[in-house]
A and B are shown apart, each in its own frame.
Chain A
Amino acid sequence: NAGVTQTPKFRVLKTGQSMTLLCAQDMNHEYMYWYRQDPGMGLRLIHYSVGEGTTAKGEVPDGYNVSRLKKQNFLLGLESAAPSQTSVYFCASSAATDTQYFGPGTRLTVL
């Protein structure tokens, strides 16, 4: 049981490039979330999904898109990366609307 996995672990982009972060969970959880973690600011919710085929905006959605084509996967896309998107990105999943289980994170640097 791997729990929540994220790929890649590290990535460096140039301004304007695009990329997709992949989150996978093997716990059959309905709910999945994408957060970003910045120094001194804790974690902030970007987008979330309450089930396959559904997505919704969180606290800081601008500049990001998401898709949930399969229940176990949740993709986070950056269409045109900006230096302000340099951050550590965490995916989480939950079975109910309380306990969330987090992945190991992706460290993204945008030059």
Chain B
Amino acid sequence: QQQVKQSPQSLIVQKGGISIINCAYENTAFDYFPWYQQFPGKGPALLIAIRPDVSEKKEGRFTISFNKSAKQFSLHIMDSQPGDSATYFCAASKPHDMRFGAGTRLTVKP
């Protein structure tokens, strides 16, 4: 049973557009919600993360929106660039137990 559900599976966006990826979790014990970016042949790299005591966190073009009551969180990529083309994973974590979504393959067309 997948504890973190991620959508969409794939996403195509034009350069300069906004990319939005959504995730939902079930276990209210999770207290840390990171997003990882993965390029082909590489390991996942932390992009941005949030804790449930805040509703939004922004770092440059990347923003996490968090809705604790709905148990949902999302990643927004503003002004999407071709270099952002990668697979993005959301995750929900409690100590030593990080559960990942299935991933979203983002393609940004020039």
Contacts and interface: CB of A to CB of B under 8 A. Distances in A.
Interface of A: 4, 31, 33, 40-45, 48, 50, 56, 58-59, 90, 92, 97-105
A90 B46 CA distance: 14
Contacts of B9: 40
Contacts, number: 58
Contact-residue size bin, chain B (C-beta under 8 Å from the other chain): 20 to 34
A2 to B, nearest CB: 13
Looking at chain A's contact residues, is the secondary structure mostly helix, strand, loop, or mixed? strand
Looking at chain B's contact residues, is the secondary structure mostly helix, strand, loop, or mixed? strand
Contacts of B99: 59
A16 B49 CA distance: 41
B97 interface: yes
29 contacts: A33-B96, A40-B9, A40-B102, A40-B103, A41-B102, A42-B2, A42-B6, A42-B100, A42-B102, A43-B89, A44-B100, A58-B97, A59-B99, A90-B44, A97-B32, A97-B95, A98-B34, A98-B49, A99-B34, A100-B46, A101-B46, A102-B36, A102-B43, A102-B45, A104-B41, A104-B42, A104-B43, A105-B41, A105-B43
Interface of B: 2, 4, 6, 9, 32, 34, 36, 41-46, 49, 89, 93-103
Contacts of A90: 43-44
